A and B are shown apart, each in its own frame.
Chain A
Amino acid sequence: DGGITQSPKYLFRKEGQNVTLSCEQNLNHDAMYWYRQDPGQGLRLIYYSQIVNDFQKGDIAEGYSVSREKKESFPLTVTSAQKNPTAFYLCASSKFPGQGLYNEQFFGPGTRLTVL
């Protein structure tokens, strides 16, 4: 079964701690993305990566970090510098959105992070 997996589903963290959210895909997609969703709001882009070993900041990158060492994996670290980290985090992937391709993104099931 091809798809995107995220773990864990629910995560609780104490203030001041860093935490890493996992995202894996077996769709052979080049591009991967991290979004944050808050109640009553749409998705906001945190980071994206179009190829291995390269990634770019999205609209709300402050307090987050990522790595892309393998094509299949794009973990997100929420650092203690993120002022309001409690949110629903969604990972997505797509074929490389260039060369005439449109950017149809496929989403994972999400991780709900709560800071206590």
Chain B
Amino acid sequence: EDKVVQSPLSLVVHEGDTVTLNCSYEVTNFRSLLWYKQEKKAPTFLFMLTSSGIEKKSGRLSSILDKKELFSILNITATQTGDSAVYLCAVETGGTSYGKLTFGQGTILTVHP
């Protein structure tokens, strides 16, 4: 059974802090790893990682994938209150035409002013 585990489950920081969120996985037929940010409603796409060791960046957010050790990290530098959200990690698998997404439990990030 495919498994995706995120840690920590929740995190409370103050504005300006740097945080690292972890995502480890055990799956068959890995295709890609995705990070989403979920504020009250719809998860919004952050990154898709397919190759090991290549960092993806978007402003203060960055992510990297290690396919040998089967994990990914999401870094947020200089956190702001607007970064407060649930961060979801999902792994896409599938050797055929369908790429199934298996989600982790999510990390609840709270940023205090």
Contacts and interface: CB of A to CB of B under 8 A. Distances in A.
Interface residues of A, number: 25
A103 B92 contact: yes
Contacts of B98: 48, 50, 56, 97-98, 103
Contacts of B104: 42
B87 to A, nearest CB: 11
Nearest to B4: A42
A1 to B, nearest CB: 14
Interface string B26-66: 00000110101000011111001010000000000000000
Nearest to B50: A102
A109 B43 CA distance: 8
B88 A43 contact: yes
Contacts, number: 69
Contact of B94 (A42, A56, A96, A97): A97
Given A40-B9, A97-B94, A97-B97, A104 B45 contact: yes
A42 B88 contact: yes
5 pairs of A and B residues whose beta carbons are closest in the complex: A98-B97, A103-B99, A42-B103, A97-B99, A107-B42
